[in-house]
A = this chain, B = another copy of it.
Amino acid sequence: MTDPSSDGEVGSPASTAEDPDRDLRIRVDHVGIAVADRDTLAPVLELLGGELIADEPADGFRWIQYELGDLSRIELIEPTAPDTFLTDFLDRNGTGFHHVTFEVAAIDDVVAHLRDHDLRVVDRADHEKYREAFVSPRSTGGVLFQLMEYEPGYCEAYGEPGVGHDLLTDHSYLDPAESH
């Protein structure tokens, strides 16, 4: 946590309502790849040493995560229903990189920060094991960034988040005994 007295943004001439106490820690978590059929790419990820750590249904698609040596991850998303965002993407682009997910320590702080700077952030949602939002492609020239804050229980359900997770040490689920 930052010390609010140590960084004199409050009262500065800046016109934004930005809060210096916001926790903006962030890391690349995984890369999402759209595939019409997982068999297009799953064998390649396995040859590259990827270990299957999750294969889960979602609304109209399933997400299949492979962990590499240091817990860096690649996710395949495969449609399981017609007429979704994913089939639209595949119709337009074919198999291809779909999104990059950033893990954040405090999603609402990051969302507020981006919105203060006039970026569009959409689809903010709370799920059982994670909280998410998306930086709209309208604000990025067309690429899709997902923001995710993991809730307690995420690790147990899907394996450890990436190795850089030790930077986000105020997440009590990392080691409840050491949380502060």
Contact = CB atoms under 8 A, between A and B. Distances in A.
Interface of A: 24-28, 30-31, 33, 35, 40-41, 44, 47-49, 68-74, 93-98, 100, 102, 110, 113-114, 117, 119, 135, 139-143, 145, 162-164, 166-167
B44 A95 contact: no
A74 B145 CA distance: 12
Contacts of A164: 69-72, 163-164
The number of times this chain is found in the oligomer is 2
Contacts of A141: 35, 40-41, 94-95
A143 B96 contact: yes
A140 to B, nearest CB: 5
Contacts of A166: 70
Contacts of A143: 33, 41, 95-97
B100 A48 contact: no
Given A70-B167, A164-B69, A47 B114 contact: yes
20 contacts: A26-B69, A27-B72, A28-B72, A28-B73, A31-B97, A31-B100, A40-B140, A40-B141, A41-B141, A44-B119, A44-B140, A47-B119, A48-B110, A69-B164, A69-B167, A70-B162, A70-B164, A72-B162, A74-B100, A97-B143
A113 to B, nearest CB: 7
